[in-house]
Homo-oligomer: A and B are copies of this chain.
């Protein structure tokens, strides 16, 4: 947590931004409650809503932050602890004291909030799009609206104003992100140094999770740890690591301060890449390095995405998988057969930062997204600016179902040699991902040095196999 002045300043800026937009009334930011697993009191690890935490700081369940635009007053409403809570949960800071830590003097209970809202029922209440049913129901109760009205009633202007603040990370935020990135790095190194043929994916996941928790972090998102890297969001961890396959790991730590890291590595199950794996991996890293080399303030991320895709297409053309005019092929989105996702996304307190506002607001600053297959999955296309933190994550996949579909339907067939492509049907997929910030116009990869080249990766993999002797 930062100084209370930081939070006061953030709220002040948000207020000013909305008043500039001629908005009046109340801003109501719902904190998260506990999320139930299989009955009410059996809950997942608590994740605070990141916008709530950004402006109001408190990392406790069932809190509401309110900003009165007309009277320039900030409030926290929520639950205060009883003796019974102390028995079950240990000594707790009072709500009053907790709020003062973040520069808020006005506090009250949920009932006080209800009354407050009843007494200001002519005022407009601005709130974020909601992503949890429990919060939708609670907001409905507070604002006397149906769940459907709540779902449709969030404030776009509020989202733009918040995104315009949260997209620009302060140096103290970048420091916190870098801490999370370094834990993320340790997660990957641990996997590289322990994964061996014959292990189960879930055993590697267990090693990774030990690093997360051992650093007092939680997960930014569910870990992907799969010998089927061609499946983009594969959360099944039941396969055995077989010699000749690769393991793709996409994981990230969320630090106690609430900031995320997010990295992907792909490495051979064996100690060394096979020649076929090495060829594709080098194309991938070429694309990654090229993207990195052109990252800077002023360029659009869409350009960076397309440049990385071109590199991939070029590499695959050199192997004969793509044929014909390369520029035309890329323009037609041929590369999306091999990389159907976008090059990256904003990262901060959420791993896809503020994704609940929608990518158009956060990643495109209001511009429309492309509808082309592949580009339509690019979460961010806007001009890069100082303070932006985001991922770079090219991938090359051989997805049998997608290849079959394109072949059957003749999609982009003039640019594709399916006979050659089908030699890779059992290849799997690879992705490499790092986290970047734009500072003083230039880009910088966050965190300590990560293995990237074949040589560097194999040096780590050697440790897994040396340890086993």
Contact = CB atoms under 8 A, between A and B. Distances in A.
Interface of A: 32, 35-45, 47, 49-50, 83, 86-91, 131-137, 140, 146-147, 200, 202-203, 205-207, 209-216, 221-222, 228, 231-238, 256, 340, 349-352, 354-356, 399, 401-402, 405
B216 A237 contact: yes
Contact of A401 (B86, B340, B351, B402): B86
A42 B347 CA distance: 13
Given A206-B211, A206-B212, A401-B83, A47 B38 contact: yes
Contacts of A216: 200, 202, 237-238
Contact of A41 (B234, B355, B401): B355
Contacts of A209: 206, 209-210, 213
16 contacts: A35-B44, A38-B131, A39-B354, A40-B356, A42-B355, A44-B44, A45-B222, A45-B235, A86-B402, A87-B340, A89-B231, A89-B233, A137-B147, A140-B147, A202-B214, A206-B211
Contacts of A207: 210
Contacts of A90: 228, 231, 234, 236
A206 B209 CA distance: 7
A234 B83 CA distance: 15
A45 B132 CA distance: 15
A355 B83 contact: no
A42 B83 contact: no
A234 B91 CA distance: 10
